[in-house]
Amino acid sequence: MNDQLALAAEWLATSRKTIAFTGAGVSTESGIPDFRSAEGLWSRYDPAEYATLGAFLRNPEQVWKMLAELEEVLNAEPNPGHRAMAELEAAGALAGIITQNVDGLHQAGGSKTVVEYHGSGRTFSCLTCRASYTRAEVKQMERPPRCTNTVRGGACAAILKPDVVFFDEPIPPQAIARSAQLMQGAELVLVVGTSCEVYPASEIPLRVRGQGGRIIEINLEPAAGLAPHISLLGRFSEIMPALKSRWEGMRA
């Protein structure tokens, strides 16, 4: 591990453009279970019934039974791995992060350039009148939260939807465009806390490889089919600060 960590730090120090691609594993150490784990939401809620736009349109009250539980776990705080990534960005070593997570922990940890590929759990929208709400505003509402926007002299009152990408929704065009911009010219991608099984996000590290870039994996277990150049297996909250420390030592 020490040799691999030293080599990873060397690659980070010499890369002209490095990006990160992150998944649920960076948040589990902050107390947010992986949706697919034994304790995850999908062990109690069938995604087909609770995590599609079609299900929300048919029965938003039912879907909000699951969303209310999701809201509780989103109260988590960033861990040392999140903060180490933010510090690397501030120092110019990391151009930005493309994340599959909707929890906002990268931003809470200090990261500035974050593409939320699957949307955000920090904002909500009314599908009827298109009004937007922050999470702080929605937390003050009864469940399920309803739109308070005035429409034709009265409140809209439609049930709000979080701005997350449900399973039957397309990836937002802005997220695709911003991801492509970040990937352009990337010589190194840190693939962190993801099994790389969810399409089309799983193609992101492969596209960096396809343009001649290298892949450094940071995971508890190897991601199937990723074939990284370097694999650092262990806890995100430990390995990312250690990588940052090694990188700083090379610059001293």
Which helix (H) or strand (E) covers residue 124, if one does? strand 119-125
Catalytic residues: 118
Please report where in the chains the tokens 């991801």 appear, as a residue.
179
The one-digit pLDDT tens for each residue of the chain (252 residues) are 689 999 999 999 999 999 999 999 999 999 887 777 666 777 888 988 999 999 999 999 999 999 988 887 778 999 999 999 999 999 999 999 999 999 999 999 999 999 999 999 999 999 999 999 999 999 999 999 999 998 877 889 999 999 999 999 999 999 999 999 999 999 999 999 999 988 999 999 999 999 999 999 999 999 988 999 999 999 999 999 999 999 999 876
Residue 74: closest CA among 43, 104, 113, 116: 104
- How far is 67 from 38, CA to CA, in rounded Å? 18
pLDDT for 39 equals 67
Residue-wise burial string across 23-50, b where 16 or more C-beta atoms lie within 10 A, e elsewhere: bbbbbbbbebbbeeeeebbeeebebeeb
pLDDT for 43 equals 82
CA distances in angstroms from 20 to 26, 31, 56, 101, 204, listed in the order given: 11, 21, 32, 13, 10
Dihedral sign for Cα atoms in the order 33, 34, 40, 45: positive
Q: Are 233 and 219 in contact (CB under 8 A)?
A: yes
The amino acid present at 34, given as its one-letter code, is D
pLDDT for 133 equals 97
Beta-carbon contacts of residue 201 (< 8 Å; ≥ 6 apart): 21, 98, 100, 117, 118, 171
Which helix (H) or strand (E) covers residue 247, if one does? helix 236-251
Full set of structural domains in the chain with CATH: 1-32+77-118+170-252 (3.40.50.1220), 33-70 (no CATH), 121-164 (no CATH)
- How far is 242 from 235, CA to CA, in rounded Å? 11
